[in-house]
Amino acid sequence: MAGVRKVPAAQEHAAPVTPARIAKALAARGYVTQTMGGVVSGAWDGFDVTIRLEHVDSLPGGPDDGLEDSAQPSFMVLEARWGIAIPQDMRSALHLALNDWNREQLWPTGVLTPRGEGWTALARYAADTADGLSDGQLLATLDIALRGSISLLKNLGKPERRLEDG
C-alpha cells in the first residue's frame, strides 16, 4: 500500500513586535485603531484601550547585563480603562471587586488608578515579546488580552465614554 506523504504546514517564525504589526493584526480583525508615539489605541465595547511596548532594563538585553542590547521590547502591555470615576469614599468597594477578580482569574490584572478627584479601574495584561511573536501568536495574545480585559471591565459596569468622545 502506497503511503501518502503529508506536506508540513508553513511554519511561522517569530518577528519583532512593533506598533505597526499590532495595528495591522487588529485591523485584520476589523478593529479601528490609531497609533501615536508608539502607542496603539482604540475603543472596544466602549472601553478605552492602549497597547504599548516596554523595555525592562533588568532583564537580559538591558543596558547593565553585559549582553548586546536588543531593540526588541521586552513586553507588550495592553491596558483597558473602565472610565467611570468613583469618589474616594467608594474606593474600598471598587478595590474589593478588583481583588475578587484577581483572586478568581489569571489575567488580566485589575488595578485601581486615580482619575480626577476619584478612582477608576484599569485592566492590565502584559505579554513577553523579548523573542518576538509569530503572526499567529500575536493575534492570539491580542485576542486573549482584549477579551479578558473587556470582560473584567464589563463585570464592573458599562463604560462612561468612548475614546472618540474626548
Tens digit of each residue's pLDDT (9 = 90 or more) over 48-88: 999 999 987 644 554 554 445 456 678 999 999 998 998 99
Q: pTM for the whole thing? A: 0.82
> In 3D, which of 70, 50, 74, 48 has the Cα closest to residue 61?
70
Multiple choice CATH, 19-158, 3.30.70.240, 1.10.3470.10, 3.30.1460.10, 3.20.20.30: 3.30.1460.10
Q: CA of 60: how far to CAs of 11, 56, 76, in Å?
A: 27, 9, 16
CA distance 33 to 40: 6
Tens digit of each residue's pLDDT (9 = 90 or more) over 2-45: 566 665 566 789 999 999 999 999 999 999 999 999 999 999 99
Tens digit of each residue's pLDDT (9 = 90 or more) over 80-110: 999 899 899 999 999 999 999 999 998 999 9
Which of the 8 DSSP states describes residue 96? H
Q: Where are the domains of the chain?
A: 19-158
Query: How much is the pLDDT for 5?
Result: 65
* Residues 77, 39, 150: CA angle, nearest 5 degrees: 50
CA distance 149 to 153: 6
Residues with Cβ within 8 Å of 64's Cβ and at least 6 positions away in sequence, in order, are 57
